[in-house]
Amino acid sequence: MSEQLTLKDIYLARQRIAGLALRTPLVRSESLSRRWNCDAWLKLDNLQPTGAFKLRGAANALLGLDPAQRERGVVTMSTGNFGRGLAYAGRRLNIPVTVCISRLVPDNKVAALRASGAEVVIHGDCQDDADCEARRLRDERGLAYLPPFDHPLVIAGQGTCGLEILEEQPEIDMIFAGLSGGGLIAGIGLAAKSINPALEVIGVSMNEGAAMLESLAAGHPLQVAEVSSLADSLGGGIGLDNAWTFAMTQRYMDRGYKVDEVQIARAMVQLLREDKLLVEGAAAVGMAAVEQHRLDLSGRRVAFVISGQNLSTTTFAQACRLAGEPPYADL
């Protein structure tokens, strides 16, 4: 891999992951288009076999390993979705996978990881703790370490999502996506800006623990406390030794927003009521940002990345309560 990723790397990733990750639908949301007087589209990466976009980067990273690395196996740290993607692809490719997670990962994601066939190690109270354990296991067992975002093959894999959006709807002029470690925004930004430099890329994080946004404001990677959120997939740090996603997010993201838990909850409920999509909080932050920050989308062609659907009914019931809505059975 060259020192700088290019659109070619994303095209190569698409060829590589075909058969493991899906080309997901891009569908028009009539409800959001009416509400915001725009042309709103939903990129349904919640329909990936593992329920989240992370499968794209995980599959591409595994397929980039040499034979000796494949035989020894890999280790990662995850908030759930990357680990699940890695486990799914690893099972298909016969590569052993170990996933280190913190105690903040919801029970439904822990259960899904274990069901996927991965070895699951729960360690510490935040993603940084889990990362330390993953690196220790790398050294102890001779495993290949694959980070969930700060890796060129992971970024290129996530970029295939942006490539698909613009192939389906070339007139899209704004893309919203969740912002955590920056792998998705970096990949989508590279794809989108390479095709249309005028296109706006918008990243959205939760209010508390927005590590990338805090780091961008400081001008260098920061360690930020991780807290519980409906958007649990966006939790965790970006790594003080970040080599890829910090610089790429600086380069390709036009604007970043934070959203509070109530707005995330309202967006989750709205997506179920109007678009019949039951999704996790991280998948709804783009809609939450439009509402909370009163963004004017009039006349725009906008895509929202619906990044995942791996949530429990208990979490969705909590979202309903926060949003002041009736039980989800009435929606």
Specify the 3-state DSSP secondary structure of 43.
Answer: strand
Q: How confident is the model at residue 65 (pLDDT cuts 50, 70, 90)?
A: very high
Q: What integer is the mean pLDDT of 61-75?
A: 96
What pLDDT is stored for residue 80 in this prediction? 83
Instruction: Say whether both 135 and 257 belong to one domain.
Output: no
* 261 assigned to some structural domain: yes
Assess contact for 326 and 320: CB atoms under 8 A: yes
* 1 assigned to some structural domain: no
Q: What integer is the mean pLDDT of 219-238?
A: 92
pTM for the predicted model, two decimal places:
0.94
Q: What integer is the mean pLDDT of 199-207?
A: 98
Give the E-state strand segments of 184-299 in sequence order.
200-206, 255-259
Range of the domain at 111: 54-145
Instruction: Say whether both 202 and 271 belong to one domain.
Output: yes
Q: How many domains does the chain have?
A: 2
Helices (H), 41-80: 54-63, 67-72
Instruction: Say whether both 101 and 127 belong to one domain.
Output: yes
Residues 154, 128, 149: CA angle, nearest 5 degrees = 10
* 129 assigned to some structural domain: yes
Instruction: Say whether both 289 and 179 belong to one domain.
Output: yes
* 2 assigned to some structural domain: no
Q: What integer is the mean pLDDT of 275-293?
A: 97
Q: Which two tokens stand for residue 189?
A: 């930004």
* 291 assigned to some structural domain: yes
What pLDDT is stored for residue 221 in this prediction? 97
Give the active site residue among 43, 54, 193, 258. Answer: 54
Domain end residue (candidates: 145, 167, 193): 145
What pLDDT is stored for residue 26 in this prediction? 98
Instruction: Say whether both 83 and 131 belong to one domain.
Output: yes
pLDDT, averaged across the chain: 94
Domain end residue (candidates: 145, 175, 191): 145
Instruction: Say whether both 102 and 197 belong to one domain.
Output: no
Assess contact for 43 and 32: CB atoms under 8 A: no
Helix (H) or strand (E) holding 324: none
Give the active site residue among 78, 102, 205, 307. Answer: 307
Domain end residue (candidates: 94, 115, 145): 145
The enclosing domain of 136 has a CATH number of: 3.40.50.1100
What pLDDT is stored for residue 326 in this prediction? 76
Which of 131-135, 176-180, 327-331 has the highest mean predicted lDDT (pLDDT)?
Answer: 176-180
Instruction: Say whether both 217 and 112 belong to one domain.
Output: no
Instruction: Say whether both 177 and 43 belong to one domain.
Output: yes
Rounded Cα gap, residues 325 and 331, in angstroms: 9
Rounded Cα gap, residues 79 and 149, in angstroms: 11
Instruction: Say whether both 200 and 258 belong to one domain.
Output: yes
Q: Does the active-site annotation cover 109? A: no
Instruction: Say whether both 107 and 17 belong to one domain.
Output: no
What pLDDT is stored for residue 2 in this prediction? 42
Instruction: Say whether both 159 and 258 belong to one domain.
Output: yes
Instruction: Say whether both 16 and 137 belong to one domain.
Output: no
Q: Does the active-site annotation cover 307? A: yes
